[in-house]
Amino acid sequence: MTLCNFKSFLLLLFLTWPFYSLSQLSFFPEAHAAEIQVAVASNFHNPLKEIIEEFEKKTEHKTLIISGSTGKLYAQILNGAPFHIFLAADSLRPQLLEKNGGAIYGTQISYALGKISLWSPNLDAISETVKSTLLRKNFSHIAMANPITAPYGKAALQTLKKLGLWNVIQHNVVQGENINQAFQFVFTNNAQLGFVSLAQILDPKIFHKGKRIDIPEEYYDPIKQDAVILANGKSNEGAISLWKFLQSDISKKIIKKYGYGLP
């Protein structure tokens, strides 16, 4: 039996005993209500809230969302945080958790492809291109997420280095712990512009405010966002039900609405 087939066999065994099969069409409203703790990368907090609303309409399960940078959440999981599902902003951390036994082997899935934009609420702060905007330096501060702990921060840094501008503007950079904090710096005018996720700009609360330039995808490594059922979720019926719901057409419609690509 090949490794791929063995992995599929283990996943099928896990999902069919003692709970249910992937072939079932329902999201198990007949199961006992469970509380699910979901750790989610900050950029995906609002789309997940919408997905959870739809999920809870169809089940009796209740969900608690804990958001933060992917790196910080990963560290909390390693230190024993009682999360059931992890929605990361990369594929590396879920993969590592599968390998070290912190997640259920075979449950890593890609749920979204992230995109970054240079954005400002002030129309005059953004020029025609990213390079021209940054070179004219019509700003005192530019925000980005921490490139060590946040994949969107890493993408911003890669963009600046690709353009050869990191050394030019690094003294103007203010770093947020995660992409939400970076966004808040710009939204509250503590930074005049910043690298944020496209999903944040397309949020219904701020849609059409300001001006943005979407960063060409060849400027940064693909932001493949993966989810995984953690070891704590193995016996949580709600966690497995939500994991399935993330792959539903309902969830995919919400994910696309926020500007993400689908794997």
What's the CATH number where 86 sits? 3.40.190.10
Supply the pLDDT for residue 5.
Answer: 54
Supply the pLDDT for residue 7.
Answer: 54
Which of 241 and 12 is assigned the larger pLDDT?
241
Whether residue 200 is predicted with pLDDT greater than 60 in this model: the reply is yes
Which of 45 and 13 is assigned the larger pLDDT?
45
Rounded average pLDDT over 118-146: 94
Rounded average pLDDT over 203-217: 85
In a domain, 163, yes or no: yes
Q: Are residues 29 and 61 in the same domain?
A: yes
Burial of 170 from C-beta contacts in 10 A (0-12 / 13-18 / 19+)? exposed
pLDDT digits (tens, 9 = 90+) for 9-40: 445 444 544 333 333 334 444 456 789 999 99
Report yes or no: 118 and 195 within 8 Å, Cβ to Cβ: yes
Supply the pLDDT for residue 135.
Answer: 95
Lowest mean pLDDT among 18-27, 44-53, 60-69: 18-27
pTM: 0.81
Q: Are residues 55 and 146 in the same domain?
A: no
Q: Are residues 104 and 154 in the same domain?
A: no
DSSP alpha helix (H) spans, the chain: 3-16, 45-58, 70-78, 92-100, 130-136, 151-162, 166-169, 179-187, 198-201, 237-245, 249-257
Beta strand 116-120 pairing with 211-214 = antiparallel
Rounded average pLDDT over 227-254: 97
Q: Are residues 88 and 131 in the same domain?
A: no
Q: Are residues 157 and 206 in the same domain?
A: yes
Domain count, the chain: 2
Report yes or no: 156 and 186 within 8 Å, Cβ to Cβ: no
In a domain, 262, yes or no: no
In a domain, 152, yes or no: yes
Please state, for a pLDDT cut of 90, what percent of the chain lies above it: 83
pLDDT digits (tens, 9 = 90+) for 78-93: 999 999 999 999 999 9
Domain that holds residue 252: 3-113+224-257
Report yes or no: 241 and 221 within 8 Å, Cβ to Cβ: no
Distance CA 105, CA 96 (A): 11
Supply the pLDDT for residue 94.
Answer: 98
Q: Are residues 96 and 154 in the same domain?
A: no
